[in-house]
Amino acid sequence: MNHKFKISFTFFILILGFSPFKIEAQNITINSGWQFVLDDKTSQNWETVNIPHTWNKEDAFDDEKGYHRGVGWYKKKLYFSAESKNLIHYIHFKGVNQETHVYVNGQLIGNHKGGYTAFNFNITKWLKFDAYNLVEVKVDNSHNPNIPPLDADFTFYGGIYRDVELISKPKQHISLSDFASDGFYVNYYSISEEKAGVEVKILIDNFENRQINNKLKVTLLDAKNTTIFAKALDFKSSAEASESLNIKFSEIYNPKLWSPENPYLYKLHILLLDEKENVLDEKHQNIGFRWVSVDADKGFFLNGKPIKLIGVNRHQDYQGYGNAAPIEFQKKDIQLIKNMGSNVLRNAHYPQSQELYDVCDELGVLIWTEIPVVNKVTNTKEFFDVSLNMQKEHVKQYYNHPSVVMFGYMNEIYLRLAFDGKSTKLEKENQKRAALDLAKQLEQLTRELAPNHITVMAGHLNELYNETGIADVPMLFGWNLYFGWYDKDIPDLGVFLDDQHKRYPNRSLLLSEYGPGSDIRIFTKTPKKFDFSIEYQAKLHQSYYQQIMERDYMTGMTAWNFADFGSEFRGDAIPHINQKGLIQFDRTPKPIYYWYKSILNKEQPFVHIATNYFDGLTLLGDDTYPVQIYSNQQAAELFLNGKKIKVVIFENGVANIDLPFINGINTIKVVSATVSEEKRVEVLKIETLDFQTFSRFGINIGSHFYFTDKEHQITFVPDQPYKEGLFGHVDGKTYNLSKDKHQGIPYGIKKTNSEPLFQTMLEGCTNYKLNIPNGRYKVNLFFVEPKIKSTENIYNLKVSTQISKNKIEQRVFNILLNQTLVESHFNMAEQYPEKYGIIKSAIIGIKNNEGLTISLQSIEGKPLISGILIEKLN
């Protein structure tokens, strides 16, 4: 051993002697590098994943399989040093959907039910120190009749989709065992504009088997970190027990109140010390002085002043990630919600990530937060217990956020009952009673735990909520109303609300959901209920806003939904997605988002020309197109292609204007006193189908709306009855699946991204004419059979499918292009799976100025056609 080495070795030993480690309280996020396998943990197919993780981010959007609702296993090795054996170790899960079993070194150490609240387990006694420990987590998102939600319009993605933490604490620490809360609760007393007091209840756990002398130091600071009050409390922690301690500060005079306009945050700092004043544990919490109340006539009050709540509902999933969306993406949502001018957010239908509530505290957004007891309840003790436990976790975990002012616990709890055609009268009565009982228990619990919050619940359009009296259980009742979508017409909203207010004058009301589906690929001059057009979305929201603003008794409104979200069973214009968002699933705003901004955000001068969705606008004849311009200004000058058109006046945040576009690129400019915007729109103006300035032309057959199809790189124009010199159907009727259901649009069309093109169609069309010049063309025809159910043997060509005629309406027809037969005996039911998007293409030469006639000759039943795309060939 050479001399030099000897010295450094001794030096190393010396350091070790002084122990190079500091072992103290720690929160470590352990998201990276878990092993994961579906179903069977003895399988060899483990893959390495990072948390947040869900196994449903792809299959929840897959047409064929349906999404995996079952078991997923996660495992990870964790090293615990010898030095850490005097600490207490917890594994803390912020969100796992939906039932979790945790094993340490092969031993089951705990189970948690419910996918949206945090939980933790003290794992200390199962650990090996100075050794690697195996943590295994079994997650199950199967339907479980005793865990809410039982059924709801969103995807129940399975997995560990929020952070996992390893929390190590000295033997005395601020409790982690009170329903995984922070172990302290901030309460306000004698709160007013003049003065306000804070009182903190702190829970301390002592894991030592002897009594310990401890000290708490609690400091209240202002936003600039200036100490306002500091208090110290010496106390004795009894052996292996928990203490509950109260620290009450004197009142602050002229407190800065927390509100959406001025979300002023004070800070609370809690230190737990041992006898020698060593820090054992510490907590930081933003607090805000605010108080809320509701009045059945005058609406919602914050800090004693009326405030109309206008905002959104939010689901937590995100395109490409499911519910395992990076937290920074989610925080950006809150920024978008605030920038829109919202003062309220309903976290529907379950508690969301804590970090988002922190952002709402900071930005000033009031929150309605709720547990996922949705659509129906199971009348078992276990279901009731799980629900009550969930609400305890929920209230305790989210209690300290100044933004949280409303605690909810049920959504549309009579939805399934209202559509239940099977149960007997008695069974129905029992279901009604069970939901009411649970509501009362949840209400009582919530009021006990959070006496200064507003309790809430939302119901759907049904008398059951009145009849049973459930609507009067919470302090504020939210109606989810879809007039002009699922129900009657847009103006019926006000009529319904006035009637409710008259009949139940003591009930405080909020419009907790409303809004139509919309797809930025769909637009029309003649918006209609259920067409998913951008224009219909604008029309409904703009009217609803006015109707609510006119009614003082309405506390406010929260739009359904902030963003499009995953709902696996659904088929809107995009399958598996509920498209009622103000922004898209990938968070690109739809025009309506900007309209809300124009009426709600008074701070930044703002103007927006709502043309983003035109990706090539084709206008037929000498035509104009109605465009909406949104602004929070009073008026602005409007220019089209450099020429001033007029001064537009904004009413209700919007100016409607018919723009006389020219062929080619158009520039629209809006200039107000303080702000301006310019947009370019490419317009194809067509007088005749001469194929001079264009080489492709598409028609969305059976439809009144344009459809921009990215795959075919074309905007299909609306259909029309045949017009001499142009195009149109000679006969046929718009196909309607059923008169009442969703306006008859067939959902779930397979193997296509062009659903809206297929969803609308003409039935009984025998001739479709297009006046196109002589030449060679590729004619693409789009078809779907909306009515059949696939038969098992559809691909078994040896066996005739023998489709029963009573069950299935068959249609068999020949397709001819200018009398030339291109397809004989076309029978979608016989030849393709159910609801299959079919494209037939043929090349045709047109001569003698005969134009093109597409003929569908019926052999059996009525022919159907969804779209036409004509491409000029050289």
Q: Where on the chain is the footprint of ligand GCB (CB under 6 A)?
A: 152-153, 411-412, 460, 480, 513, 560, 578, 580
Residue nearest to ligand GCB (CB): 153
CB of 516 to ligand GCB, least distance (A): 9
The candidate with the shortest Cα–Cα distance to 124, out of 37, 205, 237, 236, is: 205
Cα 770 from Cα 853, distance rounded (Å): 6
CB of 514 to ligand GCB, least distance (A): 9
CB of 118 to ligand GCB, least distance (A): 23
Nearer to ligand GCB (CB atom), residue 508 or residue 578: 578
Q: Which two tokens stand for residue 697?
A: 């032309």
Task: Please say whether the beta carbons of 540 and 490 come within 8 A.
Answer: yes
CB of 530 to ligand GCB, least distance (A): 12
Cα 96 from Cα 113, distance rounded (Å): 9
Nearer to ligand GCB (CB atom), residue 237 or residue 323: 323
Please report the DSSP string for 46-63 in residue order. -EEE-SS--TTTTGGG-T
Nearer to ligand GCB (CB atom), residue 187 or residue 462: 462
Nearer to ligand GCB (CB atom), residue 536 or residue 777: 536
**Dihedral in degrees, nearest 10, Cα atoms 296, 297, 302, 308:** 110
Cα 694 from Cα 617, distance rounded (Å): 13
Nearer to ligand GCB (CB atom), residue 88 or residue 309: 309
Nearer to ligand GCB (CB atom), residue 513 or residue 709: 513
What single DSSP character describes residue 264?
A: -
Q: Where are the beta strands (DSSP E) in 474-604?
A: 476-480, 508-513, 522-523, 554-559, 565-571, 575-578
Cα 717 from Cα 521, distance rounded (Å): 12
The candidate with the shortest Cα–Cα distance to 387, out of 146, 164, 605, 201, is: 146
What single DSSP character describes residue 726?
A: S
CB of 826 to ligand GCB, least distance (A): 36
Nearer to ligand GCB (CB atom), residue 80 or residue 532: 532
CB of 515 to ligand GCB, least distance (A): 8
CB of 87 to ligand GCB, least distance (A): 43
Q: Which residues pair with 97 in a beta bridge?
A: 159
Nearer to ligand GCB (CB atom), residue 580 or residue 608: 580
CB of 486 to ligand GCB, least distance (A): 7
CB of 20 to ligand GCB, least distance (A): 55
CB of 587 to ligand GCB, least distance (A): 18
**Dihedral in degrees, nearest 10, Cα atoms 399, 404, 407, 408:** -130
Nearer to ligand GCB (CB atom), residue 263 or residue 408: 408
Task: Please say whether the beta carbons of 301 and 292 come within 8 A.
Answer: yes
Task: Please say whether the beta carbons of 702 and 695 come within 8 A.
Answer: no
Amino acid at 337: I
Nearer to ligand GCB (CB atom), residue 518 or residue 611: 518
CB of 571 to ligand GCB, least distance (A): 12
450 CA to centre of own chain: 26
Q: What is the CA radius of gyration of the chain?
A: 32
Amino acid at 281: D
Q: Which strands sit side by side in the sheet containing 706-709, from one edge to the other?
A: 522-523, 706-709, 714-718, 696-700, 867-873, 775-783, 838-846
Nearer to ligand GCB (CB atom), residue 89 or residue 349: 349
Nearer to ligand GCB (CB atom), residue 407 or residue 482: 482
Peptide bond into 98 cis (omega under 30): yes
Nearer to ligand GCB (CB atom), residue 286 or residue 411: 411
CB of 482 to ligand GCB, least distance (A): 7
Cα 651 from Cα 655, distance rounded (Å): 7
CB of 789 to ligand GCB, least distance (A): 25
The candidate with the shortest Cα–Cα distance to 281, out of 335, 370, 206, 358, is: 206
Which residue, chain included where needed, has tokens 């006389």? Answer: 660
Nearer to ligand GCB (CB atom), residue 573 or residue 869: 573
Nearer to ligand GCB (CB atom), residue 330 or residue 578: 578
810 CA to centre of own chain: 39
Cα 98 from Cα 70, distance rounded (Å): 10
Q: What's 84-150 look like in SS3?
A: HHHCEEEEEECCEECEEEEEECCEEEEEEECCCCCEEEECHHHCCCCEEEEEEEEEECCCCCCCCCC
743 CA to centre of own chain: 24
CB of 513 to ligand GCB, least distance (A): 5
Nearer to ligand GCB (CB atom), residue 401 or residue 580: 580
Q: Which residues pair with 132 in a beta bridge?
A: 79
CB of 350 to ligand GCB, least distance (A): 11
Nearer to ligand GCB (CB atom), residue 411 or residue 543: 411
The candidate with the shortest Cα–Cα distance to 60, out of 585, 796, 694, is: 585
CB of 330 to ligand GCB, least distance (A): 19
Cα 136 from Cα 122, distance rounded (Å): 15
CB of 313 to ligand GCB, least distance (A): 8
The candidate with the shortest Cα–Cα distance to 770, out of 700, 688, 833, 704, is: 688
